[in-house]
Amino acid sequence: MPKVTLPDKSVIEVEPSTPAVEIARKISRSLAEESLAAKINGKVSDLNTPITADCELRFLTFEDPEGREVYWHSSSHLMAHAIQSLFPEAKFGVGPAIDDGFYYDIDIDKTLTPADLEAIENKMHEIGERNDAFQRKVIRKDDALKFFKEKKDPYKVEIISALDETITFYSEGDFTDLCRGPHVPSAGKLKYFKLLGTSGAYWRGDSKNKMLQRVYGVSFPKKKMLEDHLKMLEEAKLRDHRKLGRELELFAFHDIAPGAPFWLPKGMIIFRELEKFIREELDKLNYDEISTPMLVKKDLWEQSGHWGHYKENMFILDVDEETYSLKPMNCPESTYVYRHKVRSYRDLPLRYSEIGRLHRNEISGALGGMFRVRQITMDDAHIYCRPDQILSEINDLIGLIRRVYSLFHFEVSFKLSTKPDNAMGDPKLWEEAEAALAKALEQNGIKYGVKEKDGAFYGPKIDIQIKDALGRDWQVATIQLDFVMLPERFDLTYIDVDGRPKRPVAIHRAVFGSFERFVGIITEHFAGAFPTWLSPVQTAVLPITDNFNDYAASVVDALKKRGVRAELDDRNEKVGYKIREWETKKVPYMLIVGQKEKDSGTVSVRRHHEGDKGAQKLPDFIASVTKEIVEKN
C-alpha cells in the first residue's frame, strides 16, 4: 500500500489509486473544502489524481501562489466556456493565469463591449452553478488535431502541431479545451469573479500575427476577497501619481515634451530632499561625486558596445560633421574618471556617484507618467574594486538599500541572478562573485530568490524589489557586478602589490533607480500624504480672522527660522474652509491661531487625517516638529 508523507512529516498508508482528495477528507473536512490542487512529489496535480505509489503530498489552497494559479487558470477556462456559448464562432488562443488574475485571448469579429463582458460574467455564474467537474483526458496527437480542425480553431491546431509531450484535454460540461492542467475539481469552486477589461494582443506576441482580443479577469473563492481586490483597484486609481502630481502641484506633463515631467516648485522640494538625503548617506560611505558630459561622441558607445545593442534607445544628433548622442547611461564615462591617473591597489575601492540626467528614447507606447519617462535622473554610482573587496562592498550596499527603504516603510525583497549562457569573462571570477553575492545576502540574514541564468553577460546581479502600501511590487534598486563591459572594454587597471597591472571589478548600482519613477512610486505609496521631512509644505498657519494675521505671521516666521517649511493662510475665509483646503493638500500640520492662542503664546495643532490635537506652546511645537523632520519619522 502506498505510503503518503504529509508536510508535517506524518506518514499514512492508503489503498492504491486513492484520489488525493480522499486523503484531504481524512485529514479534515475544511482542508478538502479549501484545497484546489495537490502537490505530489513537487508536481502540481489535480485533486482527484490517484495515488499509486509512495509520495510526498501537500494540498494547495488559494493561500499558495500555486493554488491561486490553478484557481485562475480554471477561471479562464470557465470564461472561455461562457464565451463559447455566447459567441459560438469564437476561436481561442491561450488563456493562462497571470500574477493577479487570468486572461484568455480570443479571435472574434465583433469588438467586445463592457456590456458583453457583463453578459459573459453572468454566463459564467450560470455555468458555474451547474458545478460540472473538470475532467482530464489523455489524447493522441492526431485525435487532438482532428478535434480542433473540426472545431475550426486554427490556434489550437498550431499549438498542438508543435507539441511533443503527452497531450491532454480538459472538459467541463460541454466545453473541451486543450490544456496541460491541472484544474480545480469542478467549476462550482469558482465563485466570485469580475471581468476587468479587454485589450488587443497579437497571437504569440508577434505583431506580424493577427491581433486577438484579450479578456482580463480575476476571481476569488470568497466574496470579501473579491470586494477587497476591487477596492484596492479603486484605491490605486485614486492614488494615481499623475492625478496627485497635478493636484498637489508636484509635477506636470505637456505635449511639448512627451515623456518628460516639468518639476513644479513643490515637487522640486521632494526631489531636493531625496537628493540631499542620498548624498548624506553616500558621504558617510565614502563615495566621491562626479559629473560627466551629457553630450558625447558616438565613439564612446562603440567602445562600450552600446552602439550595437542600444542604439535604438539613444537620442542621436549630428553636430559639425560628427555624430553625438545624449548619454543614456553614465557607466562608460565614469571610466574616464577612473583612468584620470594610474590607480594603485591601495586606492581601491573607488566609489563614484553621479546624479545626472539621462536620455533614453523609449518607444512612444511605453511611456507612462513618471513611471516610464524619456529623461530620467538616476542616483547612479560605479564602484571600482579588487575582487577580494566585492563582499564588503556588497554588504555596504545591502545595508544602504535596507536603511533607505525602511525609512519609507517599504517591504524589501532581494533576488540573485546568476551566470547566463552567453556570459563573458573569467568563469572563476563568476564563481567567486556569485558566491560573494550569496554570502553577503546570507550574512545579512536575507532570504532571497534566485533567478538562474538571469544575470547580464558581464556579471551577476542582485535585483531589489519593494512592496508598496497597496501590496504592489516595484523593481527599484539594483546591484550589478561587471567584469567585462567597463573593465575589459575600457582597459581599466590598477597596480597590484606585485607591481603588475590587474583588472578591477566594476559594480553598477542605484538605490532609488530614477528620481522620477521613485517620486511616482512614493506619491502613490503615501497617497500624496508624504512624511513631514518630505512634505513640500510642512505646516500651514491659519488665523481665524484677519485680526490674528500678525500673530500668525510671527508663528510662520519662527517656524521658518528653524528651517520648517511653513505657509501663512491669511485669506479672508472661514477657518473651516481653510482647514478643508489644507487637508486636501495633505499638509501634515495645521496651526490654528485666534484670541486664545495669541494671548497664551500657543498654537492649536491639527494633524492631517487625524484632526485636532489641542493647543501647544509654540516652542514646544517647533521642538517636536523639527525633531520629527530631523529623524525623518
Partner RNA sequence: GCUGAAGUAGCUCAGCGGUAGAGCAGCGGUUUCGUAAACCGCAGGUCGUGGGUUCAAAUCCCACCUUCAGCUCCA
Shortest Cβ distance from residue 111 to RNA (Å)?
7
Using the rule CB under 7 A, is 434 a contact of RNA? Answer: no
Give the interface segment with RNA, choosing from 47-55, 251-259, 275-283, 464-472 (CB under 7 A). 251-259
Using the rule CB under 7 A, is 253 a contact of RNA? Answer: yes
Give the interface segment with RNA, choosing from 118-126, 348-356, 499-507, 579-587 (CB under 7 A). 579-587
- Looking at the chain, how many residues does it have? 633
Shortest Cβ distance from residue 96 to RNA (Å)?
4
Using the rule CB under 7 A, is 612 a contact of RNA? Answer: yes
Q: Helix, strand, coil: what percent of the chain each, to 5? A: 40, 30, 35
Shortest Cβ distance from residue 482 to RNA (Å)?
25
User: Nearest-CA neighbor of 398 among 353, 464, 337, 457?
Assistant: 464
Residue among 511 and 592 whose Cβ is closer to RNA: 592
Shortest Cβ distance from residue 68 to RNA (Å)?
13
Cβ(354)–Cβ(324) under 8 Å? Answer: no
Give the interface segment with RNA, choosing from 219-227, 253-261, 349-357, 493-501 (CB under 7 A). 253-261
CA–CA dist 305, 294 (Å, integer): 18
Cβ(325)–Cβ(316) under 8 Å? Answer: yes
CA–CA dist 627, 25 (Å, integer): 58
| Phi, psi dihedral angles at 89 (to 5 degrees) | -85, -5
Which of 83, 179, 290, 476 binds RNA (CB under 7 A)? It is 179
Give the interface segment with RNA, choosing from 58-66, 82-90, 346-354, 362-370 (CB under 7 A). 362-370
Other CB atoms within 10 A of residue 43 CB: 10
Instruction: Give the C-alpha distances (Å, rounded to integers) separating 141 from 148, 260, 329, 578.
Output: 11, 53, 51, 73
CA–CA dist 79, 94 (Å, integer): 12
Residue among 142 and 631 whose Cβ is closer to RNA: 142
Give the interface segment with RNA, choosing from 330-338, 461-469, 477-485, 601-609 (CB under 7 A). 601-609
Residue among 166 and 392 whose Cβ is closer to RNA: 166
Using the rule CB under 7 A, is 314 a contact of RNA? Answer: no
Residue among 87 and 345 whose Cβ is closer to RNA: 87
Give the interface segment with RNA, choosing from 36-44, 198-206, 341-349, 512-520 (CB under 7 A). 198-206
Which of 246, 357, 402, 467 binds RNA (CB under 7 A)? It is 246
Residue among 63 and 164 whose Cβ is closer to RNA: 164
- Angle between helix 427-443 and 390-407 (nearest 10): 40
Shortest Cβ distance from residue 25 to RNA (Å)?
29
Residue list 135-164, contact with RNA (CB under 7 A): 159-160, 163
CA–CA dist 585, 80 (Å, integer): 46
Using the rule CB under 7 A, is 165 a contact of RNA? Answer: yes
Using the rule CB under 7 A, is 205 a contact of RNA? Answer: yes
Using the rule CB under 7 A, is 541 a contact of RNA? Answer: no
Q: Which amino acid is at 533?
A: W
CA–CA dist 314, 311 (Å, integer): 5
Using the rule CB under 7 A, is 595 a contact of RNA? Answer: yes
Shortest Cβ distance from residue 348 to RNA (Å)?
38
Residue among 198 and 334 whose Cβ is closer to RNA: 198
Using the rule CB under 7 A, is 364 a contact of RNA? Answer: yes
Using the rule CB under 7 A, is 211 a contact of RNA? Answer: yes
User: Nearest-CA neighbor of 548 among 511, 600, 503, 506?
Assistant: 600
User: C-alpha dihedral over 132, 134, 138, 141, to 10 degrees?
Assistant: 90
| Phi, psi dihedral angles at 609 (to 5 degrees) | 70, -15
CB-based burial, 134-164: b 16+ in 10 Å, e otherwise? bbbeebeeeebbebbeeeebebbbebbeeee
Using the rule CB under 7 A, is 363 a contact of RNA? Answer: yes
Using the rule CB under 7 A, is 568 a contact of RNA? Answer: no
Cβ(538)–Cβ(532) under 8 Å? Answer: yes
Binding positions for RNA, rule: CB under 7 A = 94-96, 98-99, 111, 159-160, 163, 165-168, 177-180, 197, 199-202, 204-207, 211, 214, 242-243, 246, 253, 255, 258-259, 363-369, 544-547, 572-577, 579-580, 583-584, 590, 592-597, 604, 606, 609, 611-612, 615
